[in-house]
Amino acid sequence: MSDRDWSAYAKSTYQWKPGHKKMLRMTKTSLTSDFDYCPKQYEYKRIHRLPEPSSDAMMKGNNVHEAIEVFYDNVPPVLDELHTLMQRNKTEEALQLALSVMPEQEYVLGEGPSIEQRIRWDLARLLAGGKENYLPVINELEIHAFVEEEFEFNGEVHTIPIHFAGSIDRGYATDEGTYALMELKTGKWVQTKNRQDEWKDSKFKLESMRQEMAFYKYLLQVADHPYQDVSHWGWVYPSGNTAKLDPLNKYGYEQRGVNKITYEPATGRTWTTFRKRVERLKAALLTAYLAEDFPTKASAGKCAWCNFKPICPSWDGSDNPQEYLDSYKED
């Protein structure tokens, strides 16, 4: 992604306590992913800064994100030609031209098909919507907001300085003068069905994505950003069909991985519901800091993926970060 604003991050910390000279940092990933997934995992990862091994999936995600960011940076000089090719139904020529604006790179983790699928979707958008609002107004943009919030805990009102931060993949102007946010994901998107039913998206996955997007809209509003009037949001999963799945899930339903693109209104009841979820998460995080208590949120399926399981008290672990560090160094 684009260069990070380290001067902004220097103003905040995850190791926050009342009276700390820095602000409490709150990002989309730390709040809606780490803390929501498990407060104890958040404590290990964010407060104790326990390292985790990198993975091919993480590297692939970074590579695809960088490629799409560069595409939007470099595509303006050939936009007219791309549009003409699409109007003439020369999709494959348009695709090759679009791919040519990105630096040649040898990918080994399956990034190529994901990038190509993402560009194909975007060329279809160019044909359907035209050139006027094709280019993003946000392209991997960091947003920062510094606020003080009053929060009641144990009958006492605390003034908590908070640094909200997040990097938004893409934002587009709409024909109505509002803005639409789009998130790029390189993980799997799984659908299930039972007998003659229609294939259905995971309710958990849908709500998880809406919660992430709600954080971004919330962040833009807190920052009083020029693009805060967000009317739509969505997400693209150009690698969704690469998941290696058993024919049936643990409940006996058929399952499949699919490439997925979602675009929906981010107003009305949807926005109210997921804004409240973000605010409840924020309140729970502030409570955890003031109480100095980050409880576990354990389940067999979820914890199977956690690197901190060996020291987790829910699995008879010591809850000792140093033990994890010693073991990590040995590995």
State how far the Cα of 292 lies from the Cα of 183, in Å rounded to an integer. 33
- Report CA-CA distances (Å) from 296 to 33, 41, 276: 14, 8, 23
Burial of 270 (0-12, 13-18, 19+ CB in 10 A): middle
CB proximity list for 8: less than 8 A, separation 6 or greater: 142, 144, 163, 165
Q: pLDDT band for position 1 (50/70/90)?
A: low
Tens digits of per-residue pLDDT, 58-114?
999 999 999 999 999 999 999 999 999 999 999 999 999 999 999 888 999 999 999
Tens digits of per-residue pLDDT, 175-195?
999 999 999 999 999 999 988
Residue 33, pLDDT score: 95
Residue 2, pLDDT score: 57
Evaluate if residue 272 carries a pLDDT over 90. Answer: yes
Tens digits of per-residue pLDDT, 231-252?
999 999 999 887 788 889 888 8
Helix locations, 149-265, DSSP H: 203-222
State how far the Cα of 278 lies from the Cα of 214, in Å rounded to an integer. 7
Taken in order of first residue, the domains within the chain and their CATH numbers are 23-291 (3.90.320), 300-330 (no CATH)
Q: Mean pLDDT throughout 197-205? A: 93
Tens digits of per-residue pLDDT, 311-323?
999 999 999 999 9
Q: Mean pLDDT throughout 322-326? A: 95
Under 8 Å between Cβ of 182 and 170? yes
Tens digits of per-residue pLDDT, 117-146?
999 999 999 999 999 999 999 999 999 999
Residue 197, beta-bridge partner list: none
Q: pLDDT band for position 153 (50/70/90)?
A: very high
Tens digits of per-residue pLDDT, 10-37?
999 999 999 999 999 999 999 999 999 9
Phi, psi of 81 (to 5 degrees): -65, -40
